Amino acid sequence: MKRLLLSVVVCAMAICLYDLTSLNAMKMPKQILMNACQGKTKNPVYAPVDFPHQKHIRLGCNVCHHKWTNKKNPPRTCTSSGCHDLLSAKGAQMMAQNSAYNAFHNRTSKHSCLGCHKLKKKEHVAAGPIACNKCHIKNK
Ligand code: HEC
Ligand code: HEC
Ligand code: HEC
C-alpha cells in the first residue's frame, strides 16, 4: 500500500515537472502591448492597451485562456481566426460571441478584462481598472 502511494506521488510529481518545463519552454510574457484592433476601429476611445500579464497569472491560466487544452503549445491569441476574430463590430454585433469588443468588455463574464475587474470590485478585493481611459491610455 505504501509503495503504491509512493508511486502515485512520484508520478504526480513527474507530471507536474513535465508541465512546468513545457510552461517554461514557452515564453511567458510579462507585459503585452495589445494592439490587434489598431487601425481597425475609428472609435475615439480606442488606444492600444498595455496589459500586465505577469500580474494576472496567479488567477489561473484558464480563466483567460479558456479554450487552451493542449498545454504543449502556447495558448492562441484572443483574436485568432475562429475565436474573437470580428474586429470593429458595430451596434448589436459588438456583443456577439466572436466579437473582439465582447471578449474584452463583456460586463458579466469573468473571462473578459472589464467583466472580471467589475466582479472583483463587487467582491471588494483587488481589481483592475474599469474606466475606458485607464486601459486605453493615449500616446502610450
Ligand atoms: C480593463 C481594460 C479595458 C477597459 C476598462 C476598456 N477596454 Fe476597450 N479594449 C481593451 C483591450 C485589451 C482591447 C483590445 C486591444 C487590441 O488588441 O487592440 C480593447 C479594445 C477596444 C476597442 C476595439 C474593439 C474592436 O473590435 O475593434 C474599442 C472600440 C474599445 N476597446 C473601447 C472601449 C470603451 C468605449 C471603453 C469604456 C466603456 C473600454 N474600451 C474600456 C481593454 C479595455
Ligand atoms: C487575466 C488573463 C490572463 C491570465 C490569467 C493568463 N493570461 Fe496568458 N495571455 C493573456 C492575454 C490577453 C494574452 C495576449 C493574447 C493576445 O495577444 O490576443 C496572453 C498571452 C499569453 C502567451 C503568449 C501567447 C502568444 O502566442 O503570444 C502565453 C505563452 C501565455 N499567455 C501563457 C499564460 C500562462 C501559462 C498562464 C497561467 C500561468 C496565463 N497565460 C495566464 C491573458 C491571460
Ligand atoms: C479573471 C480576472 C481578470 C481578468 C480576466 C483581467 N484582469 Fe486585470 N486585474 C485583475 C485583478 C485581480 C487585478 C489587480 C491585480 C493586483 O493588484 O494584484 C487586475 C489589474 C489590472 C491592471 C492594473 C495593474 C496595476 O499595475 O495596477 C490592468 C491595467 C489590468 N488589470 C488590465 C487587464 C486587461 C487589459 C485585461 C484583459 C486583457 C485584464 N486585465 C483581464 C483581474 C483580471
pLDDT band at 95 (very low <50, low <70, confident <90, very high): very high
Q: What is the pTM of this model?
A: 0.91
Best probe residue, ligand 2, of 53, 55, 59, 67 (max atoms within 8 Å of C-beta): 53
Mean pLDDT, the chain, rounded, equals: 89
pLDDT band at 137 (very low <50, low <70, confident <90, very high): very high
For the chain, what are the domain ranges?
A: 29-135
CA of 137 to the centre of ligand 2 (A): 21
Query: Does the pLDDT of residue 78 top 80, yes or no?
Result: yes
Q: Which architecture, in CATH terms, is 29-135?
A: Alpha-Beta Complex (3.90)
**Ligand 2 within 6 A of CB of 33:** no
84, 90 in Cβ contact below 8 A? no
Query: Does the pLDDT of residue 15 top 70, yes or no?
Result: no
- The ligand placed nearest to the CA atom of residue 113 is 3
Query: Does the pLDDT of residue 130 top 60, yes or no?
Result: yes
